[in-house]
A = this chain, B = another copy of it.
Amino acid sequence: MIEGSNAATSTGDKLLLAAIDLMASKGYKGVTTQEIAAAAGLSEKTLFRHFGSKQNLLETAFDRFHYAEEMTRLFNEKLVWELETDLLLISRTYHEIMNRNRKMIMISVKEADHLPGFRERTIKHPKQFIEILTRYFMEMTAQGKLIETNAQMQAYSFISMNYGVFLNDLAGGEHFPNLTVEEFIMESVGTFVRGLARQAYC
């Protein structure tokens, strides 16, 4: 039977998922091939038969489970050019994507060295978000709906704010209980709307 054609989780995927899970919490060097195999319910030997080396296991995991890049189009279709609505959509989409890939992000934060081009691909999304949001702000300003500002910097601020909150949640969300992400999104979007929209709420 050829790799990947199994209906249930295939042997290879079990190993990849276990690797992602453990590396995310303990780091590449902090986890052993034995641990990974055990977590996958397989023998260490099988791990090496499939991937040849620990390094290759990490690379394969990254290639296989890194989020795809279908986001740009999604946006241009869903934006309605009303600041509050759109910022809420963007914020929520951002957190959704980041959360779906939080383990890979954790790994790439800890293991920036182990792979060339690793980090680059991981921050590709944040970068895309900023670009999209920058163009959005510029267009909104052109339409007279926003005051004149440095669009790129505003986009950068907005995304960074969401990034900061995401990381807090990630690396021990227990540090700030009674602060939920959804609540944060609503408050922060409110502030940005009042701070950027022309003649709102005064």
Interfacial residues, chain A to chain B (CB-CB below 8 A): 25-27, 29-30, 109-113, 119, 123, 127, 130, 149-150, 152-154, 156-157, 159-165, 167-168, 171-172, 175-176, 179, 183-184, 187-188, 190-196, 199, 202
Q: What is the count of identical protomers in the complex? A: 2
Chain B CB within 10 Å — which of A109, A130, A171, A188 has the most?
A188
Partner of A172, one of B119, B188, B193: B119
Residue in A30, A183, A193, A196 whose Cβ sees the most chain B Cβ within 10 Å: A30
A188 to chain B: which residues have CB within 8 Å?
Answer: 153, 157
Cβ–Cβ contact A191 & B192, under 8 A: yes
Judge whether B187 and A196 touch: CB under 8 Å: no
In this complex, the member of A150, A153, A184 whose beta carbon has the largest number of chain B beta carbons within 10 angstroms is A153
Lowest 8 A-B CB distances belong to which pairs?
A160-B164, A164-B164, A195-B195, A161-B161, A191-B195, A163-B164, A29-B29, A202-B202
Distance A196 CA – B190 CA, assembled complex (angstroms): 10
- In the complex, what residues of B have CB within 8 A of residue A156's CB? 165, 176, 179, 184
Residues from chain B with Cβ under 8 Å of A163 in the complex: 164, 167-168
